[in-house]
């Protein structure tokens, strides 16, 4: 993992050598097929229990069923969870999860992603009774505004109540690149996460480009190789480089990208947060899954050496996928046989319908405020 709040600076020769090396590594990673029984990278920790509270998601349904699925228990939230019936949970296009793990008497708390805006994130944190002062770490899955938009406002409100030293685990350098919505030639700005804001809030940035343990309880997959049928479905465009003091170090990326051209986003930096739950298997928190749900699961298995998938949860970015692509994804999921599949955010009604047809006994729906418990 690489630490620091400022992008590294390099000379011209080092810049070119680094770029060539990064391109070769990215290409080779994309071409390597999945290996049966691949050697694990980490000795991953084991936790007794994991709870995931959905702080922000795109939907809320107080009548959603609460029956356990595959040993995963769920609690739903009433329409007015606060003291005042006039206040209720808010939804928006985005995702934020409060994650608590326990091993014996030891607990760890993380906030994974931060929704689209701070007003929604902080309102729901208050209503759900989440104590920011107990957070041990922050995690950002990738550099899309609907996942980091609420972060700086969250820090403005809660940073003084939080522990003195706290880190943000981010997948890689392009978390900090500028991104755009639309198609090439017809683009609109979609924001950039500014390292200076994080430094001002006394938050250390840790780039988890390689697999690594998090707080001795969970682990990050690091960058996710692309080895299945999956591809990055059209989403944002990205600009590599620093402008007006904001942006990302272009030396990580390919020659065309280094030239400052805006190109389709390949999400080199996206990572998943995972936990090995005792006697259950892996819980894989995907968040948005632009590099592929199956690729992400296989990466978690290879990193940890644990084949059993207890649950996979988060945004799977299958809403824009064609029907045959979704069908193939569900077919691969059926082979992997997770105990529970919990789609959120950008997973899509098309994916939920396919799950209802092919794996109805493994499908567990999610809405804002839901709390999922894995393990004892």
Q: What is the distance between the alpha carbons of residues 55 and 114, in angstroms, rounded to a whole number?
A: 9
Q: How far apart are CA 345 and CA 331, in angstroms?
A: 21
Helices 323-336, 293-304: axis angle to 10 degrees equals 20
333 neighbors 68 (Cβ within 8 angstroms)? no
- Look at residue 302 and give its three-state secondary structure: helix
Q: In the chain, count of helices (H) and strands (E)?
A: 9, 22
Calpha distance 220→197 (Å, rounded): 24
77: nearest Cα among 15, 91, 2: 91
Residue with tokens 């041990």: 136
Are 264 and 289 spatial neighbours (Cβ–Cβ below 8 Å)? no
pLDDT in tens, the chain (376 residues): 767 654 433 332 232 233 333 333 332 232 233 333 455 778 999 999 999 999 999 999 988 999 999 999 999 998 888 778 889 999 999 999 999 999 999 999 999 999 999 999 999 999 999 999 999 999 999 999 999 999 999 999 999 999 999 999 998 898 999 999 998 889 999 999 999 999 999 999 999 899 999 999 999 999 999 989 999 998 999 998 888 899 988 776 666 666 667 889 999 889 999 999 999 999 999 999 999 999 999 999 999 999 999 999 999 999 999 999 999 999 999 999 999 999 999 999 999 999 999 999 999 999 999 999 999 7
Q: At what angle do helices 118-128 and 151-158 cross, to 10 degrees?
A: 50
Q: Where residue 88 sits, what CATH number does that domain have?
A: 3.60.15.10
Q: Do 170 and 140 touch, CB atoms closer than 8 A?
A: yes
In terms of residue numbers, what domain contains 194? Answer: 2-375
> In angstroms, rounded to a whole number, what is the distance separating the alpha carbons of residues 268 and 265?
8
Q: What pLDDT score was predicted for residue 83?
A: 78
Please tell me the predicted confidence (pLDDT) of residue 139.
Answer: 98
Query: Cα separation of 72 and 311, whole Å?
Result: 8
Residue 29 is classified by DSSP as H
Q: What is the pLDDT of residue 185?
A: 83
How far is the C-alpha of 308 from the C-alpha of 280, rounded, in Å? 8
Smallest Cα–Cα separation from 340: which of 357, 364, 371?
Answer: 364
CA 159 to chain CA centroid, Å, is: 22
**335-358 burial, b for 16+ CB within 10 Å, e for fewer?**
ebebbbbbbbbbbbebbbebbeee
Question: How far apart are the C-alpha atoms of 142 and 288, rounded to whole Å?
Answer: 8
Return the SS3 of 23: helix
Its pTM stands at 0.89
| pLDDT for the residue 250 | 76
**Residue 38: per-residue pLDDT:** 54
In 157-272, at which residue ranges do the beta strands (DSSP E only) sit?
Answer: 166-170, 178-183, 186-189, 203-207, 212-214, 218-220, 237-239, 242-243, 246-247, 262-264
pLDDT at 15: 28
DSSP state of 33: P
Contact 345, 95 (CB under 8 A): yes
Count of domains observed in the chain: 1
Pairing of strands 186-189, 178-183: antiparallel
């Amino acid at each position: 993992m690489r630490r620091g709040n400022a992008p590294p600076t390099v000379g011209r020769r080092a810049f070119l050598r680094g770029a060539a090396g990064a391109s070769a590594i990215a290409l080779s990673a994309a071409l390597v097929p999945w290996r049966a029984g691949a050697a694990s990278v980490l000795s991953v920790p084991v936790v007794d229990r994991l709870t995931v509270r959905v702080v922000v998601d795109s939907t809320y349904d107080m009548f959603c069923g609460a029956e356990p699925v595959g040993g995963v228990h769920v609690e739903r939230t009433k329409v007015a969870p606060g003291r005042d019936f006039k206040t209720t949970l808010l939804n928006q296009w985005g995702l934020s999860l409060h994650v608590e793990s326990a091993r014996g008497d030891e607990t760890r708390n993380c906030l994974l992603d931060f929704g689209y805006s701070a007003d929604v994130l902080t309102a729901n944190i208050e209503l759900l009774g989440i104590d920011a002062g107990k957070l041990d770490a922050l995690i950002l899955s990738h550099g899309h505004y609907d996942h980091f938009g609420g972060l700086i406002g969250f820090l403005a409100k809660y940073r003084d109540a939080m522990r003195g030293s706290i880190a943000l685990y981010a997948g890689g350098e392009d978390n900090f690149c500028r991104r755009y919505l639309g198609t090439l030639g017809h683009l609109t700005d979609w924001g950039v996460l500014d390292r200076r804001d994080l430094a001002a809030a006394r938050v250390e940035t840790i780039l988890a480009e390689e697999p690594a343990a998090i707080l001795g309880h969970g682990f990050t997959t690091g960058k996710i190789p692309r080895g299945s049928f999956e591809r990055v479905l059209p989403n944002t465009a990205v600009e590599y480089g620093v402008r007006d003091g904001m942006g990302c170090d272009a030396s990580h990326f390919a020659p065309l990208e280094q030239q400052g051209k805006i190109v389709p986003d390949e999400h080199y930096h996206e990572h998943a947060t995972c936990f090995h739950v005792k006697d259950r298997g892996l819980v894989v928190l995907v968040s948005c899954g632009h590099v592929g749900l199956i690729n992400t699961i296989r990466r978690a298995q290879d990193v940890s050496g644990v084949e059993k998938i207890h649950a996979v949860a988060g945004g799977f970015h299958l809403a824009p996928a064609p029907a045959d692509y979704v069908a193939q994804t569900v077919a691969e999921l059926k082979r992997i046989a997770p105990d529970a599949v919990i789609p959120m955010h950008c997973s899509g009604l098309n994916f939920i319908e396919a799950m209802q047809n092919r794996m109805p006994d493994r499908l567990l729906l999610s809405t804002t405020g839901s709390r999922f418990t894995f393990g004892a």
